[in-house]
Amino acid sequence: MSMRPRRRRDVHRGRPGMTMSALQHELRFAVMPMDREDAGGSEFSRTMAPHPLAYQELPYDPLYTIYNRRLTAMSMAGFSADDAYWQLRRHAILRHTGELPIEIRGPDAEKLLNFVFTRDVAKTRVGRCSYQIACYEDGGMILDGVLVRLAEDRFWYGQADGDLTDWLIAHARGMDVEVFDPHVWISQVQGPDSLRILEAAVDDAYPEPFRYFDAARVRIAGQEVVVTRSGFTNELGWEVYLEPETDAQAVGERLLEAGRPCGLRPVAIGGARRIEAGLLNAGSDFDASVTPFAAGLGAMVSLEKPEFIGKAALEKADRRRRTWGLRVPGGVPRLGDSLHHDGVPAGRICSAAWSPYQRCGVAIVRLHDPDIGPETRLEVACRDGRTRPAETCDLPMYDRERKIPRGLVVDIPAISEAGETH
């Protein structure tokens, strides 16, 4: 039976100059460990946990929401969406994410993951990452994320918003495997200057090779950390995994120091660049009612591999795609069922933003009619109350071969002088 994951809408706004201890004091009921009754811990202590480097965001008056029971910044003062976009496209940004790594380890770790994920985990070698999707029995998507293979019998799965831990444990019956939260946090450095920042930040040699979706162990500020050539931007970039024993503050300060020449600072990023890249957000761009085929992720399903959860349903499923990009000259689409074709409801706006680079509104849409593809003219209701003509397009909207994150294209886009439209 399929179930739609519930999404939390809680937010918290830090104040300029607030220290990390002050933030934790305000959220004392939420962030203190459950066994710290003397410190005010409670039964709610698993929710609203702040990233160990959240103090770096506080000078920018962040607005937080809940993602994987963790605080993640939605916006920050003093840096517009356009500013953040161009900083990412032309230099580099630092983002402290709410992604939740799950650890799977033991002799049957690969066996369990192959049963839960739609792609062949055996093809992910030690020191490599892979994009993986988990589905329900009916083929509906649970969530997606990046799998890191640390050893033959040890993995981290950096999941999107949701909870796969219990799902993995429930399907591990009879297997010699452990599934647990290793209390690891992820930060990203993304943008054309990102690898130069990594080179300046590491204590010893830069990892070689360090290809797209590689994973390596390096030392930063005396701390051994895992870094991966991955990220949620489709720009050149990497992520650092901070374990409980890591001096996260030392790592975070070294990153800011190494990135100072290119203006590196914490940013709440997402929106336009993610949409242009066709990177789907769990819960908004897909949910339990959407198969990987409908989401445009059919290439991420290996029906030739042995039995996995959802395989039988996916073998019979409609293979046609329903998820596309949308360009809207002059406005940003309104989220929801605001898309029409010749006056007839045509689909849903799942994510939307203004693209400073393309100088138009961009969106990820899910269409009712699977026979509608790119270059179809539609009408869309926009945030300003106007209805505008729009046209569907493929995803990614550009860089179809993902040459930018692979480091094969190094052109820096010029900043457009066109004003932002909402």
| Chain-centroid distance, C-alpha 114 | 22
Residue 383 included in any domain: yes
Confirm whether 360 is domain-assigned: yes
CATH number at residue 365: 2.40.30.110
Identify the pLDDT of residue 411. Answer: 82
Amino acid in position 39: A
The pLDDT value recorded for residue 47 is: 67
On whether residue 260 sits in a domain, the answer given is no
- Per-position pLDDT tens, the chain of length 422: 332 223 333 444 444 445 545 554 444 333 333 344 444 555 555 668 999 999 999 999 999 999 999 999 999 998 889 999 999 999 999 999 999 999 999 999 999 999 999 999 999 999 999 999 999 999 999 999 999 999 999 999 999 998 899 999 999 999 999 999 999 999 999 999 999 999 999 999 999 999 999 999 999 999 999 999 999 999 999 999 999 999 999 999 999 999 999 999 999 877 899 999 999 999 999 999 999 999 999 999 999 999 999 999 999 999 999 999 999 999 999 999 999 999 999 999 999 999 999 999 999 999 999 999 999 999 999 999 999 999 999 999 999 999 999 999 888 899 976 544 44
* 123/113 Cα distance (integer angstroms): 12
In a domain, 16, yes or no: no
Residue 285: what pLDDT? 97
Is 101 part of any domain? no
Element (H, E) at 344: strand 344-355
The strand pairing partners of 355, in sequence order, are: 360
Model pLDDT, residue 391: 98
Instruction: Examine residue 368 and state whether it is found in any structural domain, yes or no.
Output: yes
Where in the sequence is the domain holding 389, given as residue range(s)?
320-422
Q: Is residue 364 part of a domain?
A: yes
pLDDT at residue 355, as a whole number: 97
pLDDT of 389 reads 98
Determine the Cα–Cα distance for residues 165 and 145; give it in Å rounded to an integer.
13
| pLDDT the model gives residue 271 | 87
Q: Which residues pair with 65 in a beta bridge?
A: 11, 72
State the total domains in the chain.
1
Q: Which residue has the tokens 């219990």?
A: 166
Burial status of residue 268 (CB atoms within 10 A of its CB: 0-12, 13-18, 19 or more): buried
Confidence (pTM): 0.89
- Cα 359 to Cα 368: distance, rounded to the nearest angstrom: 27
Is 83 a domain residue?
no
pLDDT at 23: 53
Distance separating alpha carbons of residues 188 and 230, to the nearest angstrom: 8
Contact by Cβ (8 Å): 407, 401: no
> Which among 112, 105, 107 is positioned nearest to 134, based on CA atoms?
112
Tokens coding 202 = 């590491």
